[in-house]
Structure 1
Amino acid sequence: MISADLRGRCILVTGGASGIGLAAVTLFARCGGSVALNHLPDDARGPEAAARLSAEGLQVRAVAGNVAVPGEAEALVATATDALGGLDVLLNNAGTPASLQPIEFTDLDAMTEEFWQTILSTNLIGPYRCARAAAPALRARRGAIVNTASVAGLGRRGSSIAYSASKAGLVNLTRSLARALAPDVRVNAVAPGLVQTPWTDGWPQERKDDTLARTMLARLARPEDIAEAMLFLAAGAAYMTGETLVVDGGAT
């Protein structure tokens, strides 16, 4: 696991209550950063995780808010920035599959208007809302944004048509924001393959076995693997912007 000296750096992680987000909160805090852990207002895991990490002597505070809600996304960014005293890094990690199980691409009827709205408002418009709100603070510190995309946005099979489309849009948004915020703010993304999280724990074993058969490193990713790539893009990679870094164990 790589490390970095993040003392004096302020980081906001959206969707930080579990999975990749919580791994990122933990890693960035253990590197000395002051971290705002964003969580949904009704998700008790966020405050519990923040309290647990704070008890370890880490600088972590919980900030409630839903990136899918106009106004609420901007408010959580403002609250986090004020609480931290500035902002150096925004990790746009909040996302949803809107389904506990993968939905076959042939099942077009499952892609209802409501399903599309849930996916896009969280996975694509949410990161834009947060980036726009955070831009002045990030410009002031020549900071960085790291978006959580997916190999599903790069042509691999995702959990649904809508999910794959949202992540493809996020890859494009990453490039567009890199242009918009240059040269003051670097904007990159990570594209995980299948990650071992509470969401994927309930997936069909056949689907996991199929992925493992094509993965050179012969295991699913751990949330910590993705967090490490985020740390590289946020704290290093000084000459990278507009890029999407695939982290899938060689499956692609």
Structure 2
Amino acid sequence: METGLAGKTVVITGSAMGIGRATALAFAREGARVALVDRDGDACEGVAGEIRSLGSEASIGLGDLSTDAGVRTAITAALKPFGGAPDVLVNNVGSGAVRTFDELTDEDWDKTLQLNFMSYVRATRLLLPAMRERGGAIINNASDLARQPEPVPVDYSASKAAVLALTKGLARAEAPKIRVNAVAPGPIWTPFWSKPGGFAETMGKFHKMPPKEAVEHEMSLRQLPLARLGEPEEVANVVVFLASDRASFVTAAVWGVDGGSIRSII
């Protein structure tokens, strides 16, 4: 399928691993130039090498994306080799841990919102002037928990619900030149889950089970029709579609990639 992405410049935040890495490689396979934005330089170098082996161009910008200075520094550096103006922005960076409402402090709430929501605001604000000149697409990585929250993690769910509100508002404000959509993944097996201190480990503490058993227990509670965790590539495929010419009449949409977790008809 012809996507029209060859030669386009794509910025991806949180691109060192997981869904970000899979998305970077998926765009590279379409011939896009990929600006990798993250704080993990070694992992980004690895992804950049994979992109170049596919015959596409890659650049890297490093910074703490939970801060305004970090977002500006990293994105500016990543775009410099490509002339500074992107065609596509993928706001993907995020983190979370399983904690009850009573356990969450103001500092926890602020940390979650700064990375999972304000990084999207800051990256978009930085790049919109250039994108308004040439048109383009913005894809925000949200979550099924934005639309169907569970008891935990409520701070993560709230941050992702804010991402959906941002997506809808920007889609109306920036039309018709810029399309703005969101993907809402369900549980996807990535380092977000498997890393030390990630969702699996903290879920294990919450359910008082070993991490793997806790994840399996959580999936049974959610009653996923597809009865498994998703793969990063399955989300990346939808992101690439939403950025492509094939989705030219799609904006303000929220695309679930969730194994059927959302039961609502809207």
Identify whether the pair has TM-score above 0.5, normalized to the shorter chain.
yes
C-alpha distance in 1 between matches for 2:152 and 2:166: 20
Equivalent-residue separation in structure 2 for 1:229 and 1:165 (angstroms): 23
| Deviation per residue, 1:177-226 (Å, 9 max, x gap) | 11221221111100000001122236132333442572222321100000
Structure 1 residue 43: deviation in Å? 4.2
In the alignment, what sits opposite 2:243? 234
Give me the whole-angstrom Cα distance separating, in 2, the residues matched to 1:82 and 1:140.
Answer: 18
Shift of residue 159, structure 1, vs aligned partner: 5.0
By how many angstroms is 1:158 displaced? 7.1
Out of 58, 61, 74, the residue aligned to residue 59 of structure 2 is 61
Verify the 8 A CA contact 2:29 2:56 in the aligned structure 1.
yes
- Match of residue 78, structure 1, among 73, 76, 87: 76
Structure 1 SS opposite 2:68: coil
Moved more, 118-127 or 76-85: 76-85
Does 1:19 find its partner at 2:18? yes
8 Å CA contact retained: 2:31, 2:55: no
Report if aligned partners of 2:112, 2:156 keep a CA contact under 8 Å in 1. Answer: yes
Secondary structure, counterpart of 2:247 in structure 1: coil
> Partner of 2:127: helix, strand, or coil?
helix
The residue type equivalent to 2:224 in the other structure is T
Which residue of 123, 126, 134 maps to 1:133? 126
Q: What RMSD in Å do the two structures reach over aligned CA positions?
A: 1.9
Runs of 5+ unmatched residues, structure 2: 201-210
Match of 2:7 in 1: 8
Q: Does 1:119 align with 2:116?
A: no
For 1:20 and 1:158, the matched residues in 2 are separated by 24
Partner Cα separation in structure 1 for residue 142 and residue 71 of structure 2 = 19
Length, aligned pairs only: 244
2:191 is aligned with 1:193: no
Match of 1:211 among 208, 216, 219: 219
Counterparts of 1:10 and 1:159, CA distance in 2? 37
- Range 21-30 or range 192-201, more displaced: 192-201
> Contact conserved, 2:223 with 2:261, CA < 8 A, in 1?
yes
- Please, which of 133, 156, 167 is the counterpart of residue 163 of structure 1? 156
TM-score normalised by the chain length of structure 1: 0.89
Q: Judge which range, 120-129 or 215-224, deviates more.
A: 215-224
Q: Is the 8 A contact 1:158 1:164 kept in 2?
A: no
Deviates more, 1:241-250 or 1:204-213: 204-213
Unaligned runs of 5+ in 1: none
Q: Partner residue of 1:250?
A: 260
Q: Secondary structure, in 3 states, of the residue corresponding to 1:71?
A: helix
| In 2, Cα distance between equivalents of 1:158 and 1:37 | 34
| In 1, Cα distance between equivalents of 2:216 and 2:143 | 16
Amino acid at match of 2:229: L
Which has the larger displacement, 204-213 or 190-199?
A: 204-213
